Amino acid sequence: MPATVIVGTQWGDEGKGKLTDLLAKQVSMVVRYQGGHNAGHTIVVDGEKFALQLLPSGVLYPHVTPVIGNGVVVNAEELVREIDRVTARGIDCSRLKVSTNAHLILPYHAALDTLREHALGDALLGTTKNGIGPAYADKANRVGLRMQDLLDADSFAVKLRSAVAEKNAFLTSIYGADPIDADELIERYLTTVVPRVTPYVADCVALLHEALDAGEHVLLEGAQATFLDLDHGTYPYVTSSNPVAGGACVGAGIGPKSIDRVIGIAKAYCTRVGTGPFLTELSDEIGALIAERGHEFGTVTGRPRRVGWFDAVMLRQAVRLNGLDEVAITKLDILDTLDEVAVCVGYELDGRRLAYPPARTDEFARCLPVYERLPGWQVDLTKCTEPHDLPEAARRYLDFLESQVGVPVSFVGTGPGRDQFVHRVV
């Protein structure tokens, strides 16, 4: 059976974890295909909140094999801590598999990330300082260490000592920071990390193809989102990997013909963490209200998210970049109290009306949003579970979004809980 990809269509935090958890009921394997522990997926089950960082969202189901694919960068110490946290809450992580080819995030990556952000001053990128970018840079430079390196203690020690020597040159001579103690780091990993994570290391490409060949349903879970994509996002205010659907092929190890369904996730409004252009951003009391009702703080960092109106121009571009078959709209209930909602339906650039974002970053920053305004519904949606439960104004809002982006809205989030959603037949 072919695979399904779930991808964020804005700047992240759209609710990918909840939809992955919802669809995981029907699959045998959930594969995280890129990103690192900078991305958090929040799932609420029977009122209990699970904030996952590296573990795929399917880990909450005992029938699912959760897989961390080769496209992910893994902080092994954070992975151990996350496994311990989840296990302490009654979740069995023994089925977890981590790709032999997933690259490691090591302490010097986080140190370099933090120092580089500090050096940028007011021009900082707004990274989480978790070492994601430096780890991907080492991967591209072909000097990174991978999960498979943990399987040979002697070889791991040699490679890590060489890497630390190189990184210390940067840390001390360029940034004036203290060097990392290679011996302490090697000892720490070999005694407290390697024994814990090596049982999970596996040939995940083989496992994935065995599942597909057996006719099993596989779900590919992205982190971050389309407009944080290294190639297609609002560069340089992006992540260091490819969250778009095409990245699922590379980050999991399958060909595009194995994918037959791509679902995009979007909030009923937009949010963004950190710096970068945000054309529909609200700096008024409505933005503050949406942020408060939506609890808009980063799952991993706790940083407040910037809030704005829904941007249909961005979503049209996301449809093109990802080949979306359908869209899930989350957090529709957050707009319940508004008497009017706005949707950005176009951009104005130097007197021209644009249906898609301009390719040039400087032009994107100069664009002005063109809005259509619709009546709000002012009805509590949190009890809605069927399409006919939604008030007419909410249905009109969803129909309007469909007409703007050209693909159907298949799922609608009406609250944080696992069962608080409406499935609209596609």
pLDDT at residue 2 in the model: 86
Residues 75 and 96 in one domain: yes
Q: Which two tokens stand for residue 357?
A: 């974002």
Cα first-last separation, the chain = 20
Residues 324 and 374 in one domain: yes
- Among 150, 169, 197, where does a domain finish? 197
Active site annotation includes 13? yes
Residue labelled with tokens 């799932």: 43
pLDDT at residue 371 in the model: 98
Characterize 394-412 residue by residue with b for buried, 16 or more Cβ atoms within 10 angstroms of its Cβ, and e for exposed: bbebbebbbebbebbbbbb
pLDDT at residue 57 in the model: 84
Here the CATH number for the domain that contains residue 128 is 1.10.300.10
**Domain count across the chain:** 2
| H runs (alpha helix) in 294-371 | 312-322, 361-366
- Among 170, 197, 224, where does a domain finish? 197
- Among 163, 197, 231, where does a domain finish? 197
Q: Which residues contact 338 (CB under 8 A, 6 or more apart)?
A: 286, 289, 376, 378
pLDDT at residue 361 in the model: 87
DSSP letters along 350-369, please?
A: TTEEESS--SSHHHHHH-EE
Residues 272 and 289 in one domain: yes
Residues 267 and 134 in one domain: no
Here the CATH number for the domain that contains residue 1 is 3.90.170.10
Residues 50 and 114 in one domain: no
Catalytic residue of the set 41, 103, 109, 232: 41
Query: Looking at the DSSP assignment, which residues form a beta bridge with residue 18?
Result: none
Residues 346 and 273 in one domain: yes
Residues 44 and 181 in one domain: no
Residues 168 and 240 in one domain: no
Residues 68 and 135 in one domain: no
Tell me which residue range forms the domain holding 420. 1-100+203-426
| H runs (alpha helix) in 93-244 | 107-120, 132-141, 153-169, 182-188, 194-197, 204-213
**Residue 196 to residue 211: CA distance in whole angstroms:** 26
Residues 266 and 332 in one domain: yes
**Residue 75 to residue 72: CA distance in whole angstroms:** 10
Query: In a 10 Å sphere around its CB, with 0-12 CB exposed, 13-18 middle and 19+ buried, how is residue 206 labelled?
Result: exposed
What is the C-alpha radius of gyration for the chain, rounded to an integer number of angstroms?
22
Which parts of the chain sit beneath pLDDT 50?
none
**Residue 403 to residue 343: CA distance in whole angstroms:** 12
| pTM for this predicted structure | 0.92
pLDDT at residue 121 in the model: 57
Residues 53 and 178 in one domain: no
Residues 366 and 226 in one domain: yes
Catalytic residue of the set 13, 113, 229, 311: 13
**Residue 228 to residue 195: CA distance in whole angstroms:** 34
**Residue 401 to residue 132: CA distance in whole angstroms:** 34
